[in-house]
């Protein structure tokens, strides 16, 4: 059964992207089927997978836009790319526009989950690299995830942020549990 893991922290520079990349490669080397999702408008994970000669036409921003507009999603071969033993969904700066639009969408916290759910049969692990904030993108990633890894630097302000993130995760889990009981 596929496990979706979000790597999240609202603080930047704590090794979220590096953690996702290294986990993806390690799991791939162990023979696991892995999908890495770059869910950060900075697109650093994408840059680590794509060389300068490769052009990416469809990103997670395009797929999210289609989902928000309730349009048919593109075929997965259009937005899932391979790099060695790891598949990935690229990102772009356009994801920041998606984030702004998510703020105006009712019930938008499950869009990423709805996109990833049909992909579960194809993978053992789906790893989500998040952006450094607790905005709509991170909430989408947390809503889609079965578990969360929180990389943290052992410093005062980082631990303060950990408390906020933990409260957000618990709130999302509680609301998702309540919505499945109905």
Q: Kindly state the DSSP code that residue 121 receives in the 8-state scheme.
A: G
How much is the pLDDT for 177? 60
Q: Summarize pLDDT for 13-51 with one digit per residue, the tens.
A: 778 999 999 999 999 999 999 999 999 999 999 999 987
pTM of the model: 0.88
> pLDDT tens, 74-124?
999 999 999 999 999 999 999 999 999 999 888 888 999 999 999 999 999
Contact 49, 90 (CB under 8 A): yes
Q: What is the DSSP string of 20-61?
A: HHHHHHHHHHTT--EEEEEE-TT-HHHHHH--TT------HH
Provide the 8-state DSSP code for 2: -
- For the chain, what is the mean pLDDT? 90
* Superfamily (CATH H level) for 3-181: P-loop containing nucleotide triphosphate hydrolases (3.40.50.300)
Distance CA 83, CA 45 (A): 12
């Amino acid at each position: 059964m596929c496990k979706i893991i979000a790597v999240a922290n609202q603080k930047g520079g704590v090794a979220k992207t590096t953690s996702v990349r290294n986990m993806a490669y390690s799991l791939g080397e162990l023979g696991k089927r892995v999908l890495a999702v770059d869910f950060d408008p900075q697109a650093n994970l994408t840059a680590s997978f794509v060389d300068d000669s490769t052009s990416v036409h469809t990103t997670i921003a395009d797929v999210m836009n289609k989902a928000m507009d309730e349009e048919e999603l593109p075929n997965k071969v259009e937005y899932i790319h391979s790099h060695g033993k790891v598949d990935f969904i690229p990102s772009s700066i356009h994801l920041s526009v998606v984030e702004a639009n998510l703020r105006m969408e009712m019930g938008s916290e499950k869009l990423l989950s709805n996109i990833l759910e049909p992909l579960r049969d194809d993978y053992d692990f789906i790893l989500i690299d998040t952006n450094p904030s607790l905005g709509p993108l991170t909430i989408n990633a947390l809503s889609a995830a079965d578990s969360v890894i929180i990389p943290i630097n052992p410093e005062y302000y980082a631990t303060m942020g950990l408390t906020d993130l933990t409260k957000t995760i618990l709130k999302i889990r509680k609301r998702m549990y309540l919505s499945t009981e109905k």
